[in-house]
């Protein structure tokens, strides 16, 4: 298993990019706000070329590929230059593919059994998704007892208002969320060329995580 690349941010923006032209200015805006990691999902056809654009033009940004669910996805995100991948779930074939590709990976889990399977495959960090529906803070606290060696990145239902409740838990390494790059603000920034609103959201999350 290949280790995750190092990044400082405790908040991982989960991003659906609909226009490749958004990718590079968004990466710079997030960096200006103290966030040095971004999860660009494959939920839109622009996602893959966006990953490639950031990987090539913004090397100081740790760009990960999200919504990686198939063997083909693994090959495509590796070719695009993603430094790691995340998935909403986990299958044996997907695990085998990312390990064969030496691609750092954060598998998705919802249950203690899935956490144990991920651990058996060598993963110490997993993505609790969807976090709220999976039990949120209560589930994470409950799993901390029998599985104290595992760390989580809860995603789904995490926001600026509750992120510190998650980060306060000893088994939470980071949180993921889409509130940092809301579609309306991204579209307005792309239209005007002024990405300061995204930087402000990133800085707000960075400041909140440091409290």
Q: What is the CATH number of the domain that holds 64?
A: 3.20.20.70
User: What pLDDT is stored for residue 2 in this prediction?
Assistant: 82
- The answer to whether position 204 is within a domain reads yes
Quick: pLDDT tens for 5-14: 999 999 999 9
Q: Position of tokens 């998705």?
A: 108
pLDDT above 80 (res 93): yes
Does pLDDT of 72 surpass 80?
A: yes
Q: What is the pLDDT of residue 59?
A: 97
pLDDT attached to residue 94 = 97
Give the model's pLDDT for residue 46: 98
* Res 167: pLDDT: 97
Q: What is the pLDDT of residues 105-150, one digit of tens each?
A: 999 999 999 999 999 999 999 999 999 999 999 999 999 999 999 9
pLDDT at 1 over 80: no
**Is 28 among the domain residues?**
yes
CA dist., res. 77 & res. 84, Å (int): 9
Higher pLDDT, 46 or 1: 46
- Nearest CA among 73, 77, 74 for reference residue 49: 77
Residue 29 is predicted with a pLDDT of 98
- Spatial contact of 152 and 127, defined as CB atoms under 8 Å apart: yes
127 part of the active site = yes
Answer yes or no: is 19 within a domain.
yes
Residue 189 main-chain phi, psi, to 5 deg: -65, -40
The reported pLDDT for the residue numbered 211 is 78
Domain count, the chain: 1
Mean pLDDT of 161-169: 97
Tokens representing 77?
Answer: 């995100």
Active-site hit among 10, 39, 56, 114: 39
Task: Choose the weakest-confidence range: 35-39, 74-78, 97-101, 206-210.
Answer: 206-210
> How far is C-alpha 28 from the geometric centre of its chain's CA atoms?
17
Q: Is residue 24 part of a domain?
A: yes
Residue 177 has pLDDT above 90, yes or no: yes
Task: Note if 60 is an active site residue.
Answer: no
Residue 2 domain flag: no
Domain hosting 131: range is 11-209
- Which percentage of the chain shows pLDDT scores above 70? 100
Q: What is the DSSP string of 58-103?
A: -TTSEEEEE---SHHHHHHHHHHT-SEEE-SS--HHHHHHHHHTT-
Residue in 10, 56, 114, 127 annotated catalytic? 127
Over range 21-50, report the average pLDDT: 98
40 belongs to a structural domain: yes
């Amino acid at each position: 298993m290949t280790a995750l690349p190092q990044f400082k941010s405790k908040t991982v923006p989960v991003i659906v990019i609909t226009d490749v032209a958004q990718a590079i200015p968004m990466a710079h805006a997030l960096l200006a706000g103290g966030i040095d990691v971004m999860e660009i999902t494959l939920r839109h056809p622009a996602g893959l070329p966006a990953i490639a654009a950031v990987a090539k033009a913004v090397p100081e940004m740790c760009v990960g590929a999200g919504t990686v669910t198939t063997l083909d996805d693994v090959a495509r995100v590796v070719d695009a230059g993603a430094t790691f991948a995340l998935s909403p779930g986990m299958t044996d074939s997907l695990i085998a593919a990312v390990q064969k590709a030496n691609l750092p990976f954060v598998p998705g889990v919802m249950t203690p059994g899935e956490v144990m399977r991920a651990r058996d495959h060598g993963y110490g960090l997993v993505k609790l998704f969807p976090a709220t529906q999976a039990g949120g803070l209560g589930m994470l606290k409950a799993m901390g007892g029998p599985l104290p060696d595992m760390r989580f990145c809860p995603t789904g239902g995490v926001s600026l208002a509750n992120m510190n409740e998650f980060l306060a838990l000893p088994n939470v390494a980071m949180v993921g969320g889409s509130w940092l790059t809301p579609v309306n603000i991204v579209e307005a920034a792309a239209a005007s060329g002024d990405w300061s609103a995204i930087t402000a959201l990133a800085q707000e999350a960075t400041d909140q995580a440091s409290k």
